[in-house]
Structure 1
Amino acid sequence: MMKLLVVAVLVALLALSAESFRVVRQAEEEQGTLTKITDKVKSLYQGTVDTASGYLDSIRGLKLEEKAKNLYKDTSLVLTTYSDIARDQIYHFFYSHQ
């Protein structure tokens, strides 16, 4: 009888301690249609921004801005020179008789 009582107490203790180790289930939240669409748009936007940033970084690596500034400077210098020559020719054409 003593063995039966010991076994019953051990089973009771085991049952009580097993209940305290029970893992609480986390309910999975169902994503609605709006949430899915919003997540998709956000991911597409982020991908687009990342791609554009990569393109800008590669363009900056080519130093196109500096090349464009140099081209503008050289072109304006040449055009200024030729416009001055043309202005002098026109002036001497009209006022050479005086």
Structure 2
Amino acid sequence: MNKLLVITVLVALLAINAESFRVVRQVDEEPGTLTKLTDAVKSYYDGAVNAASGYLESIKGMKLEEKAKTLYSDTTNVVSTYAGIMNDQIYHIFYPQQ
């Protein structure tokens, strides 16, 4: 009786394992309209991202960031100088020397 039970369990396990090893048949289907559209959108998006990355790399090569920093510092120096002159002129308009 015990041998029969063991053989039955082994056969059941073998049947379950054999069923899980079935190979799924691959069917070559033509992609649908939605798949074609999403692929086209993805390709356009990837192209745009690559173009933008290329532009950013070329801009970094021109060292525009450093030029912008120097332009900002020069501009603030000039504006602060002229603001000081205007402040001085306005002060002398309201408080003339006697």
Q: TM-score, normalised by structure 2?
A: 0.68
Residue in 2 that maps onto 1:53: 53
1:20-71 deviations in Å (ceiling 9; x for gaps): xxxxx96422111111111111111101100010001101111111111110
Q: TM-score, normalised by structure 1?
A: 0.68
Residue in 2 that maps onto 1:41: 41
Residue in 1 that maps onto 2:19: none
CA separation in 1, counterparts of 2:51 and 2:69?
26
CA separation in 2, counterparts of 1:51 and 1:60?
14
SS at match of 1:43: helix
CA separation in 1, counterparts of 2:95 and 2:54?
60
Runs of 4+ in 1 over 3 A off after TM superposition: none
1:68 paired with 2:68, answer: yes
Residue in 2 that maps onto 1:86: 86
Q: How many residues align?
A: 74
1:95 paired with 2:95, answer: yes
Cα root mean square deviation, aligned: 1.7
Which has more radius of gyration?
1
Task: Tell me which amino acid in the other structure corresponds to 2:66.
Answer: E
Identity of aligned residues (%): 65
